[in-house]
Homo-oligomer: A and B are copies of this chain.
Amino acid sequence: MLKAHFDNEAELSSYPKTGRFLAGRLRHDMDDREKQILEELVEEVSVIDEPTRIYARGEICSRSTILIEGFVLRTLDGPKQRHAVSFQVPGDFIDLHNFALKRLDHNIDSIGRVTVGYVPHEKLQDIMMNEPHLARLFWFSTLLDAAMHREWVMKLGQLTTTRRLAHIFAEIWRRLQMVGLGDEAGFDTPLTQAQYAEMAGVTAIHVNRAVKSLREQGIVHVMRNRVEIPDRDALEEFAQFDPDYLYGHGSLSLREGLT
């Protein structure tokens, strides 16, 4: 099972704030010293109860944010409506890119209740100068985002709404399991059909029809706060989903680590 790739409890008891960072990807490439340095980068932890725009496009930020619990969306304000260009799960550095870009090109919106940790950019600057291996891992994590974006471009360009939805569920499930969340039957999530619509680039009404179709085909059962999937292979085949782009333990993975 996927969860075996990540010894959830041990990592989280040692590193409660950053124990999920790159779990299932290159976390095994970090040594204890580096994990400790990372954990100590977080200067403040904050719980956000209500859906909130944590950062807005154009803001200048002096700190970056790691998601500890919950879901957030990266969004752009399109001509018609807000569009979600990706989602983040616990363990993701939400906005590492704003350290290098200074200004954000998109918004960060929380969904449901989230816990985040803040890392001041001065500390990241020290990492860049003195910890080249950690710096490489930070770069790697932003490249993962880019790889996911590319998959989304393909998804929006080529899949029908029903398959897009299936693809979204497949990605969420895999990513949650890489960081020790989700379970054998599916996953819990605060996402609503309106938010799936924002990710799929269609109306909530049409998402609803797609949800109905997935349910009738027995591929995915979407409920309030919960998604259940009877058969992973059936889902991933229907969604044309190949998890390689997540750079987990598939054919593109980096078992040898970074130099």
Q: Scoring A residues 50 to 86 as 1 if CB is less than 8 Å from chain B, else 0, what string do you get?
A: 0000000010000000000000001010111101011
A105 with B157: CB separation less than 8 A: no
Whole-angstrom distance between the alpha carbons of A159 and B102 in the complex? Answer: 28
Nearest B residue to A103 via CB reads B252
Whole-angstrom distance between the alpha carbons of A76 and B157 in the complex? Answer: 11
Q: Tell me if A153 is interfacial: C-beta within 8 Å of chain B.
A: yes
Q: Scoring A residues 169 to 211 as 1 if CB is less than 8 Å from chain B, else 0, what string do you get?
A: 0000000000000000000000000000000110000000000
From residue A244, how far is it (CB to closest CB) to chain B in Å?
A: 7
One complex includes copies of this chain to the number of: 2
B142 with A101: CB separation less than 8 A: no
- Residues of B near A86 (CB, < 8 A) are 150, 153
- Residues of B near A147 (CB, < 8 A) are 97, 101, 105-106
From residue A76, how far is it (CB to closest CB) to chain B in Å?
A: 4
Q: Tell me if A251 is interfacial: C-beta within 8 Å of chain B.
A: yes
| Contact pick for A100, options B140, B158, B251, CB 8 Å | B140
- Residues of B near A152 (CB, < 8 A) are 149, 153
Whole-angstrom distance between the alpha carbons of A86 and B256 in the complex? Answer: 29
Question: Told that A101-B252, A103-B253, A153-B153 touch, could you supply 10 new A-B pairs with CB distance under 8 A?
Answer: A83-B154, A86-B153, A97-B146, A103-B252, A104-B252, A105-B150, A105-B244, A128-B132, A139-B139, A149-B149
